[in-house]
């Protein structure tokens, strides 16, 4: 009898528990409807008519969530590894599908492909937009754009783990690993739910501090909230058509540079610092590499500016390149000037910075400095092995040996990530994009950066892209945010076999 029970449980664990997934997704949609109440309240406060589209969107999202949460009859409450993978992928798509309703029903009047692109860009913190005149949008729409980025910064699944205690198990850990970026994910608390709560608490406190600092400067309170949401999430949506350049403020650029940099740091390290373990920061190889790369890129960018003769004052050689470098490396994508005028070297450096991004475990996109550091150390080890074949060399990052399993994963990821960008660039080229702009846009979307160049413009407006191109870019954003593997698992035949 006991053997039969164990066999039954084992068989059950191998099944995909679709009814339980639907109930969980329904609960998440109800939560999204609650988030929509914030921009609706903003519309009411400013006396704007977009409160009605938000109310309709809330109603549709909430009803769909209630139906999904109550109608299915789960045969089991347990969720397997494949369930966790499916939920991680599907929730981002569902949040974008329902989150686009205010853009379609409200003042922008976007079509489906535009609305999905804008919402996916928000939740994945890409920051690319199809809205040409952002300043004409209501405060509610602008708040919803900012809020989607703030939610997506740490991740929808990570937020889910803070509000659903039943996921505080190995399946919750898998969902956490599937969504949080990078090659290592250190748990801060003893339980995964505690880790999620600590990270969201830290994220919220930093956001509040940034709002206060921006409010002291030239921004009003509303603008401070929107830009704080976009900066700490490394998203990049702005309330102005010219992004941060519209303020022409040394203070704003400095404050945002500091907090974009913070957004690019592993949040586990930030937690260690605020709890008194400052030595963890000083000993961290990845953080040191992050700082060195910013310094190196700054020197090379200034050389490029001087060579191009495009400097116009002391800010163009100080805060402007620093702001641009941090914005590009952290995949924020804020615009503070025309970096295309800084010379070809500056453009090439921007592409490289977008490709690799900042630290794993942060809110940023890209391949991550952790993997770049591994590649450089691996190259050094291989050179030594070529000279001394019998020598035994281990690759260490933060005093931890990189295992063969991690090695294979890193190499596979970099190959697939590069292939994803190449395929995206080819597809966009087929849609009559200039070849350089096609690959720049592919890197920008796959790295969740949002910076534009060439035909898209420095502020990154994608309104001219045909519908097919918007769906291609939306997929690039999602694949980049989930770091590809979770999506690949869904299209693998063995994933669907019992």
13 pLDDT band, cuts 50/70/90, is very low
Question: What is the rounded average pLDDT of the residues 109-113?
Answer: 93
Confidence check: pLDDT of 456 > 90: no
The dihedral through the CA atoms of 129, 133, 135, 139 has a sign that is negative
Q: Of 106-110, 296-300, 351-355, 463-467, where does the model show the most confidence?
A: 296-300
Question: Structure tokens of 326?
Answer: 């941090």
pLDDT at 97 over 90: yes
What does the mean pLDDT of the chain come to? 84
b/e for 51-68, b at 16 or more Cβ within 10 A?
bebbbebbebbbebbeeb
Q: What is the pLDDT of residues 152-203, one digit of tens each?
A: 988 776 776 666 655 555 555 555 555 555 444 455 555 666 777 888 889 9
Q: What tokens were used for 72? A: 């299915």
**Alpha helices (H) in 318-465, listed in sequence order:** 319-329, 344-356, 369-387, 404-430, 435-446
Dist. CA 127–CA 333, nearest whole Å: 7
Between these two residues, 218 and 386, which has the higher pLDDT value? Answer: 218
How much of the chain, in percent, has pLDDT values that exceed 70?
A: 86
pTM score, two decimals? 0.89
Of the pLDDT bands very low, low, confident and very high (cuts 50, 70, 90), residue 423 is: very high
pLDDT at 187: 52
Q: Directed axis angle between helix 192-216 and helix 156-163, to 10°? A: 120
Specify the pLDDT at position 462. 86
Euclidean distance between CA atoms 450 and 396, whole angstroms: 33
Q: Which of the two residues, 162 and 394, has the higher pLDDT score?
A: 394
Question: What six digits make up the tokens of 155?
Answer: 């991740």
In this prediction, residue 12 has a pLDDT band, given cuts at 50, 70 and 90, of very low
Nearest to 367 by CA among 421, 423, 417: 417
What distance in Å separates the CA atoms of residue 365 and residue 354, rounded to the nearest whole number? Answer: 8
pLDDT value of residue 176: 56
Q: Report, as an integer, the average pLDDT of 215-227.
A: 96
Q: What is the mean pLDDT of residues 389-411?
A: 77
Please state, in angstroms and rounded to a whole number, the distance separating the CA atoms of residues 82 and 85.
Answer: 5
The mean per-residue pLDDT over the stretch 486-498 comes to 73
């Amino acid at each position: 009898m006991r053997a039969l029970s164990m066999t039954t449980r084992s068989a059950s664990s191998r099944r995909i528990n679709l009814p339980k997934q639907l109930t969980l997704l329904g609960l998440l949609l109800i939560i999204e409807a609650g988030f929509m109440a914030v921009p609706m309240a903003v519309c009411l406060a400013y006396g704007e008519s977009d409160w009605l589209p938000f109310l309709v969107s809330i109603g549709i999202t909430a009803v769909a969530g209630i139906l999904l949460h109550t109608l299915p009859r789960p045969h089991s409450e347990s969720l397997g590894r494949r369930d966790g993978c499916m939920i991680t992928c599907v929730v981002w798509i569902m949040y974008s599908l329902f989150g686009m309703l205010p853009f379609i029903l409200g003042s922008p009047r976007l079509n489906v492909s535009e609305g999905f692109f804008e919402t996916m860009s928000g939740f994945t913190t890409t920051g690319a937009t199809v809205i040409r005149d952002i300043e004409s949008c209501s405060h509610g729409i602008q708040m919803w754009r900012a809020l989607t980025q703030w939610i997506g910064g740490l991740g929808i699944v990570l937020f889910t783990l803070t509000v659903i205690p039943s996921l505080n198990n190995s399946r919750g850990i898998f969902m956490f690993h599937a969504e949080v970026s990078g090659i290592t994910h250190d748990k801060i608390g003893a339980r995964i739910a505690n880790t999620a709560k600590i990270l969201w608490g830290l994220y919220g406190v930093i956001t509040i501090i940034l709002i206060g600092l921006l409010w002291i400067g030239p921004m009003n309170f509303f603008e401070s909230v929107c830009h704080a949401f976009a900066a700490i999430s490394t998203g990049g949506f702005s309330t102005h058509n010219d992004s941060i350049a519209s303020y022409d403020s040394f203070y704003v650029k400095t404050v945002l540079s500091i907090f974009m940099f913070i957004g690019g740091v592993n949040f586990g390290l930030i937690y260690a610092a605020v709890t008194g373990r400052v030595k963890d920061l000083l000993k961290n190889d990845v953080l040191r590499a992050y700082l060195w790369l910013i310094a190196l890129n700054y020197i090379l960018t200034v050389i490029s500016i001087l060579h191009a003769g495009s400097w116009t004052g002391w800010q163009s050689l100080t805060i402007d390149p620093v702001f641009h470098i941090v914005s590009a490396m952290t995949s924020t994508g804020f615009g503070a000037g025309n970096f295309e005028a800084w010379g070809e070297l500056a453009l090439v450096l921007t592409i490289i910075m977008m490709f690799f991004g900042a630290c794993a475990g942060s809110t940023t996109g890209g391949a991550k400095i952790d993997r770049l550091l591994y590649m450089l150390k691996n190259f050094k080890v291989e050179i030594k092995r070529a000279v001394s074949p019998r020598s035994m060399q281990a690759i260490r990052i933060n005093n931890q040996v990189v295992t063969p399993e991690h090695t294979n994963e890193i190499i596979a990821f970099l190959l697939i990530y590069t292939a994803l960008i190449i395929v995206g660039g080819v597809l966009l080229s087929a849609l009559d994009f200039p070849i350089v702009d096609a690959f720049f846009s592919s890197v920008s979307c796959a790295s969740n950066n949002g910076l534009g160049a060439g035909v898209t413009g420095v502020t990154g407006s994608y309104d001219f892209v045909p519908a097919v191109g918007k769906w291609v870019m939306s997929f690039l954003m999602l694949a980049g945010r989930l770091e590809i593997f979770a999506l690949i698992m869904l299209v693998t035949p063995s994933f669907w076999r019992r």
